[in-house]
Amino acid sequence: MRKSERADYILKRLTQLYPNPPVPLDHVNEFTLLVAVLLSAQCTDLKVNQVTPALFLLADSAEKMTKVAESKILEIIRPCGLSPQKSKAIAGLSKILVDKYDGEVPADIDALETLPGVGHKTASVVMAQAFGVPAFPVDTHIHRLAQRWGLTNGKNVKQTEADLKKLFPKSVWNKLHLQIIFYGREHCSARGCNGMVCEICRTCYPRRRTPKTTLKA
pLDDT by 10s per residue, the chain, length 217: 899 999 999 999 999 999 999 999 999 999 999 999 999 998 999 999 999 999 999 999 999 999 999 999 999 999 998 999 999 999 999 999 999 999 999 999 999 999 999 999 999 999 999 999 999 999 888 999 999 999 999 889 999 999 999 999 999 999 999 999 999 999 999 899 999 999 999 999 999 999 988 776 5
Which residue out of 121, 158, 163, 166 is catalytically annotated?
121
Q: 121 catalytic, yes or no? A: yes
Q: What is residue 186's three-state secondary structure? A: helix
Out of 1.10.3720.10, 3.40.50.300, 1.10.340.30, 3.30.70.100, the CATH code matching 30-131 is 1.10.340.30
Cα 128 from Cα 45, distance rounded (Å): 17
In the CATH scheme, what is the code of domain 3-21+136-204?
Answer: 1.10.1670.10
**Catalytic one among 8, 95, 102, 139?**
139
88 assigned to active site: no
Dihedral sign from CA coordinates of 135, 136, 139, 141: positive
Residue whose C-alpha is closest to residue 38's, from 1, 76, 90: 90
In the chain, where the domains are located: 3-21+136-204, 30-131
Query: Following DSSP, what letter does each residue of 75-135 receive, concatenated?
Result: HHHGGGSSHHHHHHHHHHHHHHHHHHHTTPPPS-HHHHHTSTT--HHHHHHHHHHHH----
Closest CA to 83 of 35, 121, 34: 35
Global pTM reads: 0.92
